[in-house]
């Protein structure tokens, strides 16, 4: 296959995935909240991440910097639901936020929306259901994990998907 045919094929795949991703995002958003209308930057971020995630051979790091109150948390809420659908109910969204009060607030919101989430404390204790454990995470019981940055940076296994909330409070990267 020559280069031009290859590029045409890649463009065609991109158009197809964008349509499918948009439909997935629209249906997931309506399922999350029928009255919810995504802001432009929320949609752009989600479409970007989901397009790359749809093609497992592509990897992409994404930094989303939006003002306080813009709805960054909604991005990882919807991202978790979309990825869960896109990847046949497999995978975990990992959210780092250094403030425990924000972690607990997000955990409450996620549970209200039916998203299976847990929190890993600085002491590497899992808080989710009454008897949550690392084994539960490994078995795929949770789709989203909220933790302090230092909780997992020292853990031997890395994660592919990383969302840092309140990153301006992290003193050292």
Write down the pLDDT at residue 7: 55
Write down the pLDDT at residue 161: 40
Write down the pLDDT at residue 160: 41
Q: Count structural domains, the chain.
A: 2
CA atoms of 31 and 84, how far apart (whole Å): 14
Question: By three-state DSSP, how is residue 16 classified?
Answer: helix
102 and 37 inside one domain: no
Rounded to two decimals, the pTM is 0.75
Write down the pLDDT at residue 122: 66
| Residue 80 in domain | no
51 and 117 inside one domain: no
Write down the pLDDT at residue 20: 86
| Residue 83 in domain | no
| Residue 173 in domain | no
Range of 56's domain? 1-71
What is the pLDDT tens value at each position of the chain, 173 positions in all?
555 565 556 566 555 555 588 999 999 999 999 999 999 999 999 998 888 877 765 566 778 889 989 999 999 999 999 988 887 767 788 888 888 899 999 999 999 999 999 988 766 667 776 667 777 887 888 889 898 877 766 655 444 445 566 666 555 55
Q: How far apart are the first and last CA of the chain?
A: 44
| Residue 153 in domain | yes
| Largest Cα span, the chain | 58
Write down the pLDDT at residue 17: 53
**What number of other Cβ atoms are within 10 A of residue 117's Cβ?**
24
Domain final residue pick, 41, 71, 101: 71
């Amino acid at each position: 296959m020559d280069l031009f045919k290859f590029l045409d094929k890649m463009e065609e795949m991109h158009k197809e995935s964008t349509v499918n991703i948009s439909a997935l995002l629209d249906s997931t958003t309506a399922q999350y909240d029928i009255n919810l209308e995504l802001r432009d930057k929320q949609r752009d971020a989600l479409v970007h991440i989901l397009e790359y995630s749809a093609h497992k051979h592509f990897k992409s790091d994404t930094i989303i910097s939006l003002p306080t109150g813009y709805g960054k948390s909604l991005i990882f809420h919807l991202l978790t639901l979309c990825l869960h659908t896109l990847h046949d109910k497999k995978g975990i969204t990992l959210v780092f936020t250094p403030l425990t009060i924000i972690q607990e607030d997000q955990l409450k919101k996620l549970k209200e929306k039916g998203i299976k989430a847990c929190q890993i404390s600085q002491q590497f204790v899992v808080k989710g259901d009454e008897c949550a454990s690392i084994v539960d995470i490994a078995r795929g019981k949770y789709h989203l994990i909220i933790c302090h940055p230092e909780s997992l940076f020292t853990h031997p296994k890395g994660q592919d998907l990383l969302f840092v909330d309140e990153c301006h409070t992290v003193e050292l990267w």
